[in-house]
Amino acid sequence: MFSYTFHWNQALKALPQMLDGALVTLQVALLSMVIGLALALALTACRLSGNRILGSFATAWVEIARNTPALFQIYMAHFGLGNFGIHLSPYTALLAGIAFNNAGYLAENFRGALKAIPDTQTRAGRSLGMTSVQAFRYIVLPQMLRIAFLPVTNQMVWAILMTSLGVTVGMNTDLAGITQELNARSFRTFEFFAIAAVIYYVIAKAVTLAARALAARMFRY
């Protein structure tokens, strides 16, 4: 019944190729986080602006990003926009889809973090003659980023794992894409995906540990 013979050697020979893919995975995840963070800050600013159009726009973004499958978001960036004549490469579509998703989740993290900072902090800043922008920039924002730091780390890990959805839009240079191609050629599914899983695990764990070390250095209060 259990007659499968493992061929680890064959799979391990492909390791350098898979590690190259892992670098692409990390690159997409990092870029999607940088873009996602910038967008999330902009969405947070829209929500705080008091402008109804900007506020509704930001809320719609957050709602869609958080309540629809990430796979669909990436599909939309690739095939959906393609219907309108906007053709994104698999790499760009994957990046755009994950950045969209990141921005929604991160904006919600920021909102929660902002709620944890008492209004009296802003009031204290204003009473010293700061403008509302200065009070936000120098008093609220640094505290918000600290509170949101661990949720942001979680999102980074999630972004790394989400990159594997790229295979569905033809991404073939990242870890999942390369693994999928190796599998298609050899049918050594278990071995290749087991190794890929270990690599994903190591990257995700390394990011978490690095973030913790960074937090210990940055937040000394």
Which residues of the chain form contacts with other proteins (CB under 8 A)?
A: 118, 120-121, 123-131, 134, 138-139, 142-143, 146, 219-221
- Residue 94 tokens, joined: 């994957």
- In angstroms, what is the minimal distance from the CB of 212 to other proteins? 19
Return d(Cα 74, Cα 167) in angstroms, integer. 10
Report the half-sphere exposure of 131 (CA within 13 A, side-chain side). Answer: 3
In the complex with other proteins, the residue whose CB is nearer, 105 or 136, is: 136
- In angstroms, what is the minimal distance from the CB of 118 to other proteins? 8
Return d(Cα 31, Cα 92) in angstroms, integer. 11
Are the CB atoms for 160 and 26 separated by under 8 Å? yes
- In angstroms, what is the minimal distance from the CB of 47 to other proteins? 22
- In angstroms, what is the minimal distance from the CB of 122 to other proteins? 9
- In angstroms, what is the minimal distance from the CB of 219 to other proteins? 8
Return d(Cα 114, Cα 4) in angstroms, integer. 54
In the complex with other proteins, the residue whose CB is nearer, 88 or 139, is: 139
Terminal CA-CA length for the chain: 60
In the complex with other proteins, the residue whose CB is nearer, 81 or 145, is: 145
Q: Residues, the chain, total? A: 221
In the complex with other proteins, the residue whose CB is nearer, 17 or 122, is: 122
In the complex with other proteins, the residue whose CB is nearer, 6 or 219, is: 219
